[in-house]
Amino acid sequence: MNRFSANPTPASIELPPTQLMINGQWVDAANGKTFDTYDPFTGGVIAQVAEASAEDVDRACRAARRAFEAPTWRKLAAADRGQMLYRLAELVEKNKDSLAALESLNSGKIISDAYGDIDLVINCFRYYAGWADKIEGATIPMRGDYLAYTLRQPVGVVGQIIPWNFPLLMLAWKWGPALAAGNTIVMKPAEQTPLTALRMVELAHEAGFPSGVINLLNGFGETTGDAIVGHPEIDKIAFTGHVETAKIIQKRAADTLKRVTFELGGKSPLVVFGDADVEAAVEGAFAANYWHAGQCCSAGTRVFVQDSLREEFVEKLARKASSRRLGNPLDPATEQGPQISQEQLDKVLGYIEQGKGSGARLVTGGRRVGGQGYFIEPAIFDGVKDDMTIAREEIFGPVASVLSFDDESTVMARANDTRFGLAAAVYTRDLSRAHRFAERINAGFVWLNCYFVLDANLPFGGFKQSGFGRDNGQAALEHYTELKTVVVSKDLGA
């Protein structure tokens, strides 16, 4: 039985300005519109946030273009851009407590996870701060009397659209490489989680980023997001979110042939062989399915367990899942917070019903907890078959599906039988098998005997319909730069 913790009541948490940030100024939406933002723990309204119209998007995009062309940014030494990113990292560190509380309040993320995300945010800014003056071109040997070299230059104005599950971390993954490379930004956070991005803009200005370099517009996808994607001043869109949204964005971006990079969903396989360290595998599968109440694009939700280990594995996983403490995300004793919204709650509960109806065995969990907030007990389905909906679609909730297998050759093909390809994991003591798996699995990120080990220097992104392009690492810088080739004649008729 999952315990529920309702205490303590949220301390008074300082809210950031809630207007739009355009060209270094806090402004209301041109039409004066606002929308409510909620606390997913209570379902109550936290604040009203300005909602950007197409007119505001136009102003922000033009401001970002002017800032891109202005000498204060364009002529700034790369090393100085790096210094600003370092300062931003320092400021995030200094404001860790208030940022973590605000993130937890608005996203329902448990407070310890909010701190964990912020550590990754700090790493990310420091990592890209170091890159700013190391984005190099090449010299290319030529036939004849020529010198040829390449320059890596910023793409220009980038539109960045991010989801609600990791509001601060997704912001950092997008800002870090974009700013290191010298781009300017128009960002739209998710409508569910607008608050921490507003605070981050304040910190960015304190860190020294000039007006107009970072513009922040809250609003909804079909309006604000769509206007950003369609705007002619935007040179590139970086998007993290749902596969179906990415398809709409790609079509819309085609009109102006914008560069697009997508980090989308998944239905990642986690394969546990009979020779695995069972405790480590249970630990890994638990994190893979229940971190942030299962609201992670790289969740390992297809858990393939070799027959010889399955019973023991499922029993251990169920014991852990059923003792998980749900409740107030701001209470340090809480282990799982609410789903983000009523809509997500309904969607996840719908999948659980489908799982039950399809003949899979619900081992534990799967019920809504309490009448307030959007809590779901961590669920495990056993006896799941490859073609069941719960094994094919991204649920985005605390629902693990256990599938059985008997040998390596069949499980590899089954693990790859999905339209997604974001992440994968294998637990085995057989080193050759682990590397065979890493080579053959169609996924952008593979963990061997671990899960969710992430950092700013590790490229992250998907194969197949999980997206294209990479966040993090040197790879992300390639997507935020254009490559220019210069050929110089050395023969000036002398």
Contacts with ligand ADP by CB under 6 A lie at: 161-163, 188, 190-191, 220-222, 225-226, 229, 241-242, 245, 248-249
What is the b/e burial string over 32-58, where b = at least 16 CB atoms within 10 angstroms of the residue's CB? ebeeebbbbbeeeebbebbbbbbebbb
What crossing angle do the helices spanning 111-131 and 78-94 adopt, rounded to 10°? 160
Minimum separation from the CB atom of position 162 to ligand ADP (A): 6
What is the torsional sign of CA 69, 172, 257, 231? negative
Q: How far is CA 284 from CA 184, 270, 426, in A?
A: 39, 9, 10
Instruction: Please confirm, yes or no, whether 61 is among the known catalytic residues.
Output: no
In the bound complex, what is the minimum distance in angstroms from residue 344's beta carbon to ligand ADP? 8
Smaller CB separation from ligand ADP, 250 or 389: 250
Closer by beta carbon to ligand ADP, 192 or else 428: 192
Name the residue nearer to ligand ADP (CB basis): 113 or 226: 226
295 contact partners, CB below 8 Å, separation of at least 6: 165, 339, 340, 344, 396, 397
Q: What is the CA radius of gyration of the chain?
A: 24
Contact 338, 41 (CB under 8 A): yes
Q: Where are the alpha helices (DSSP H) in 298-419?
A: 307-322, 342-357, 389-392, 408-416
Closest approach of ligand ADP to the CB of residue 459, in Å: 21
Tokens 């980023």, located at residue: 209
Catalytic pick among 103, 191, 297, 394: 297
Q: Answer whether 297's CB lies under 8 Å from 420's CB.
A: no
Select 26 or 220, whichever has its Cβ closest to ligand ADP.
Answer: 220
Q: How far apart are CB 221 and ligand ADP at their closest, in Å?
A: 2
- Residue in 51, 103, 233, 263 annotated catalytic: 263
Catalytic residue flag (residue 408) = no
CB of 116 to ligand ADP, least distance (A): 20
Q: Which is nearer to ligand ADP, 67 or 187 (CB)?
A: 187
CB of 484 to ligand ADP, least distance (A): 30
Size (the chain), residues: 494
Q: Tell me how far apart the terminal alpha carbons of the chain are, to the nearest angstrom.
A: 88
What tokens does 184 get? 């300017």
Which residue lies nearer to ligand ADP by CB, 121 or 228? 228
Question: C-alpha angle 476/482/483, rounded to 5°?
Answer: 110
What are the Cα distances from residue 435, in Å, to 2, 281, 380, 426? 38, 17, 28, 10
Active site residues: 263, 297
